[in-house]
């Protein structure tokens, strides 16, 4: 309900809850790739070791994320999509020790506010699973369903009820590129988890879970790039860096192949990227200084 403060000629009013929810959702969910990231984060937090992603039309029409994680029982599933509903944080003090990807309880609420969402979920020790259908934040159906252990979330018609957001989306091809980048980063950050990404029913990326980082790079970035990399390892008291970095002579024109992870989270940091560039500085002729940092791969652990 809109709330008016009646005075003569007043201009300010409190927005109604539906509008508030849609605006808030837009801050968390900017484009299909944000949905993919949030749902994969949830699957990682649910300790899945196999995550399958399917998209249609760059994720605008359909995004499905299936995992074999812990699943949700009926009671949890019924509140999971509500704002600030989370199993990952109880007190503010927990923030100091939190190790999950999420904790704010915003993703499912935000996605379901701006799309048509279906959740199928079942913990492995329960016989029956739960299906929940939510369109634009409104629950249309909750029912028993036979489903594999784990969780699968289908997100249809993203931004169908916020046409202004829709207009800001790029072409299907470009939105798919953002999704591939997101899945690539998360697949490299989580070596032990199998990832499969399908677009229009064709496999775009497939990586088996492996404890070996090099195997993972071969799977995700291809054998040619993998072969051109040198291992890197450095430890100090405060942090540990490990990963792979390309040989200066193997460098190419693109500079967008620097993957940085801090405690398994993909990050972008201009300071670190600049440090990497400076590190190469004396190794290559000055006039190609900006042409070399393709396929550099670095994991930073225990940073800070
Ligand atoms: P957050 O991840 O910040 O807790 P979300 O809105 O992303 O918030 O999810 C809300 C809650 O729903 C999670 O805390 C978790 O308990 C449950 N949940 C969401 N996705 C999954 C999943 N794939 N498997 C198991 N539980 C899930
Ligand atoms: Mg989450």
Multiple choice CATH, 223-303, 3.40.50.10440, 3.40.1350.10, 3.30.230.10, 2.60.40.10: 3.30.230.10
- φ/ψ (deg, to 5) at 251: -75, 150
Q: How far is the CA of 62 from the centre of ligand 1 (A)?
A: 20
Q: Measured from the CB, is residue 86 less than 6 Å from ligand 1?
A: yes
Ligand 1 atom 19 nearest Cα: 42
- Domain 17-207: give its CATH code: 3.30.565.10
Average of per-residue pLDDT across 242-251: 72
Q: How far is the CA of 76 from the centre of ligand 2 (A)?
A: 14
- CA angle (119 as vertex; 48, 105 as ends), nearest 5: 70
Pocket test for ligand 1, best of 42, 89, 134 (most atoms within 8 A of CB): 42
CA distances from 11 to 5, 83, 100 (A): 9, 29, 43
Domain ranges of the chain: 17-207, 223-303
Q: Measured from the CB, is residue 187 less than 6 Å from ligand 1?
A: no
Ligand 1 atom 1 nearest Cα: 105
H helices then E strands: how many in the chain?
9, 15
User: pLDDT tens digits for 54-104?
Assistant: 999 999 999 999 999 999 999 999 999 988 888 888 888 777 777 788 878
CA gap 162, 296 in Å, rounded: 39
CB 154 within 8 A of CB 63: yes
Alpha-carbon torsion, ordered 263, 269, 274, 276, to 10 deg = 20
- Beta-carbon contacts of 207 under 8 Å, excluding residues fewer than 6 positions away, are 187, 194, 195, 196, 216, 219, 220
User: pLDDT tens digits for 171-226?
Assistant: 999 999 999 999 998 999 899 999 999 999 999 999 999 988 889 889 988 888 78
Which two structure tokens, joined as six digits, stand for 227?
Answer: 């072969």
Which two structure tokens, joined as six digits, stand for 279?
Answer: 């590190």
pTM of the model: 0.88
Q: How far is the CA of 17 from the centre of ligand 1 (A)?
A: 23
Q: Measured from the CB, is residue 77 less than 6 Å from ligand 1?
A: no
């Amino acid at each position: 309900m809109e709330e008016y403060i009646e005075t003569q000629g007043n201009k300010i009013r409190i927005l109604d809850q539906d509008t508030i929810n849609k605006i808030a959702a837009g801050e968390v969910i900017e484009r299909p790739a944000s949905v993919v990231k949030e749902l994969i984060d949830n699957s990682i937090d649910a300790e899945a070791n196999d995550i399958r992603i399917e998209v249609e039309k760059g994720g605008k029409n359909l995004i499905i994320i299936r995992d074999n994680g812990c699943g949700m029982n009926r009671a949890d599933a019924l509140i999971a999509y509500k704002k600030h509903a989370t199993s990952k944080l109880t007190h503010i003090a927990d923030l100091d020790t939190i190790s999950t990807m999420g904790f704010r309880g915003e993703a499912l609420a935000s996605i379901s506010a701006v799309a048509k969402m279906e959740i199928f979920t079942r913990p492995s020790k329960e016989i029956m699973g739960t299906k929940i259908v939510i369109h634009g934040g409104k629950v249309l159906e909750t029912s028993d369903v036979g489903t594999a252990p784990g969780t699968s979330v289908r997100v249809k018609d993203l931004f169908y009820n916020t046409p202004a957001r829709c207009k800001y989306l790029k072409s299907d091809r470009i939105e798919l590129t953002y999704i591939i980048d997101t899945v690539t980063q998360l697949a490299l950050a989580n070596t032990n988890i199998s990832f499969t990404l399908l677009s229009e029913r064709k496999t775009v990326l497939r990586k088996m879970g492996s404890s070996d980082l090099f195997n993972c790079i071969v799977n995700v970035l291809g054998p040619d790039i993998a072969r051109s990399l040198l291992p890197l390892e450095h430890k100090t008291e405060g942090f540990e860096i490990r990963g792979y970095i390309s040989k200066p002579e193997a460098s190419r024109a693109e500079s967008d192949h620097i993957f940085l992870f801090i405690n398994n989270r993909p990050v972008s940091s201009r300071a670190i990227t600049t440090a990497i560039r400076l590190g190469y500085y004396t190794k290559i002729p000055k006039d190609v200084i900006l042409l070399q940092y393709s396929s550099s791969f670095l994991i930073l652990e225990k940073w800070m």
